[in-house]
Homo-oligomer: A and B are copies of this chain.
Amino acid sequence: MFEKYVRLLKESQIKITPQRLEILKYLDEHRTHPTVDEIYSALKENNPALSKTTVYNSVDILLNHGLIQSITISGSELRYDFKHGMHHHFLCKKCGEIIDINVECPNLGSMLECGHEVEEVHGYFKGICKKCSKGETNRNGS
């Protein structure tokens, strides 16, 4: 059940706790780029003792060890994403969904030569998603 996440935490040499395992598993299985609050609410169902501070602490340490990444696409709230290969994101201004865009960044090469030490690359596109522009219903209504 949790072998994969136990291994990931061991490789990062950070303590294995049930909370960290649950959070990591949740992010791996829900590629919806949830906020801390969304992770907290989802996991609190099966663990009513869970503290939101723990979610903040956990995503911080998972982030620092590169197991997850943070997404700042939607301003005024941080979102988190299990690290699964390089990809970019598309934010739909209508339904709010954040969609994975599987492209490489062709600018990375020139960035590596510009003198700055590049550690992270993020590409964000914003607009109206395919579903919404076809006029389908969506969770935000409108």
Residues on A facing B (Cβ under 8 Å)? 70, 72-78, 88, 90, 92-93, 99, 101, 103, 105-107, 110-111, 114-130, 133
Q: Decide: A128 and B122 in contact? CB cutoff 8 A.
A: no
Query: Can you sample 13 A-B contacts with CB below 8 Å?
Result: A72-B72, A72-B124, A76-B78, A101-B107, A103-B111, A111-B125, A114-B130, A116-B129, A119-B127, A120-B124, A120-B125, A121-B123, A122-B122
**In the complex, how many angstroms separate the beta carbon of A100 from the nearest chain B beta carbon?**
11
Other than A116-B129, A120-B127, A122-B124, give 17 A-B pairs with Cβ distance below 8 A.
A72-B72, A72-B74, A72-B75, A75-B78, A90-B111, A92-B116, A93-B119, A105-B107, A105-B123, A106-B107, A116-B127, A116-B128, A118-B126, A119-B127, A120-B124, A120-B126, A124-B124
Q: Are B122 and A123 in contact (CB under 8 A)?
A: yes
Bound form: Cα–Cα A113–B77 in Å: 29
**A101 contacts B114, C-beta separation under 8 Å:** yes
B93 touches A116 (CB 8 A): no
Q: What is the minimal beta-carbon distance from A32 to any residue of chain B, in angstroms?
A: 17
Which residue of B is nearest A93, CB measured? Answer: B119
Alpha-carbon distance A129/B114, docked complex (angstroms): 10
